[in-house]
Amino acid sequence: MNDSQKKQVPLRLSPKLYEEIAAWAEDDFRSVNGQIEYLLTECVRRRKKGGKIFSVGEQESENKDD
């Protein structure tokens, strides 16, 4: 599927999550949409490679050690 054939998906995000993604996107010089697409692509790529995927609970517990 090329760029002209991308699926449009309605997505609901909490305001806090949106703001965090928007800030991250700005840091990476991407649009919010581009950042979401990048993050999803990376997650799928890592999953296919057998990389560790954190669930929300696992990720939060990992961040507490920082």
Q: What is the dihedral of CA 11, 2, 30, 15, to 10 degrees?
A: 0
Is 40 within the bounds of a domain?
yes
Domain annotation covers residue 37: yes
pLDDT per residue of the chain (66 residues) written in tens, 0 to 9: 677 789 999 999 999 999 999 999 999 999 999 999 999 999 898 888 886 666 656 555 555 554
**Domain span at 30:** 13-50
* pLDDT score for 4: 78
Predicted pLDDT of residue 50: 80
Report yes or no on 6 lying in a domain: no
In a domain, 19, yes or no: yes
Can you read off the two tokens belonging to residue 20?
A: 């965090």
Residue 34, pLDDT score: 96
pTM (predicted TM-score)? 0.68
